[in-house]
Amino acid sequence: MTGSGGDGTDTDLSRLRWGCRRGMRELDLLLLAFLDRAYAAQPQNTRAAFRRLLRMPDPLLLEWLLGRCIPPDPELAHVVAEIRRTAAA
């Protein structure tokens, strides 16, 4: 059975990939790079935070991912830092 818990099945990854497509090229590039290069190696709590992050509005995501401000939630702040680290690598 395939769940939506983000356990790494093809269906889950397809849903995440779809969620990374935001309509803002900058967001698409940052989110998809993290999904492709780093998501699978992250601990479960970071993967859960990434899934929560994808539910945030685009303008807020852009502010966080460009480093203009920091998410107040520590788990979201951590995953934003991981995404930025992946983009810089």
Task: Dump pLDDT digits (tens) for 34-79.
Answer: 999 999 999 999 999 999 999 999 999 999 999 999 999 999 999 9
Dist CA 75 CA 73 (whole Å): 6
Domain 24-88 in this protein, CATH class: mainly alpha
Query: How many Cβ atoms sit within 10 Å of the Cβ of residue 22?
Result: 18
pLDDT at 4: 47
Dist CA 78 CA 69 (whole Å): 13
Residue 45's nearest CA partner among 14, 73, 86, 17 is: 73
Q: Measured between alpha carbons, how far is residue 53 from residues 1, 34, 49, 84 in Å?
A: 25, 12, 6, 13
pLDDT category, 8, cuts 50, 70, 90?
low
pLDDT at 11: 79
